[in-house]
Amino acid sequence: MNWKKTFTSFLLVALLIALSYAFLDRRIALLVKHLWLFSHRFSFFSTEIPDFLPHVVILITGTAWIVFFYLIRKNIYNTHTRFFQLIAITVPLAHVVKAILKFAFGRINTRYWLQHPHAIEFHWFHGSANFHGFPSGHTAVFTVLAVACSTYYPRYQSFYFAGLTLLALALIVTNYHFLSDIIAGAYVGVLVHSVTHYCLTFQRGPKDEDMAKSGWSLWSANR
């Protein structure tokens, strides 16, 4: 892992977030609001959508660990094994990291800001109720999933990122998030993936078969 590039990318993303916060976030949110003013039905529908993200995280994580340990038990350590191990770690980790950051920044969410445009936007270490907008958890979680798929199954890379782009647009056109929330969420996802993938690769070493056997033995011993 190139830490110099990581630091450079952090500065670049921080700049993009700052520019979005200063010049784009409020304008986009107001534009979306005006575009959908005629459709009360859409506004009601988008507001009433429940947040299924925790359930999705639990489902993906549980399924990934089950498949991973099944493959390890069969002494299979290939692309699929590494993929499921990676997302079993990164998906819940991204969810935890975004929760910590949401609490730390305590940014007002988009819909509450539209109702209270003069409210203070950041309530530091108060990331609850209407103060949990930054970064986007949906973007963070699905970014780690998309990047992992792209890493191990690059043939369908364009499909993964098209889906991620559609998710980002959906979060914007429903005024679920500001643009800067989504940029930050995507970067959190990329960073979680990069660090975890680096650690797993470093730990794994040159012989994947030995890792598979030791991993299964360790799991069996702790049962």
Q: What is the pLDDT of residue 129?
A: 80
Average pLDDT on 8-27 reads 97
Cβ contacts of 203 within 8 Å, gap of 6 or more = 211
Look at 215 and 67; give whichever has higher pLDDT.
67
Domain 9-35+55-221 fold is Vanadium-containing Chloroperoxidase; domain 1 (1.20.144)
**Interval 73-90 mean pLDDT:** 96
Give me the helices (H) in the chain, please: 3-19, 25-35, 40-48, 53-73, 79-105, 110-115, 137-152, 157-173, 179-204, 208-221
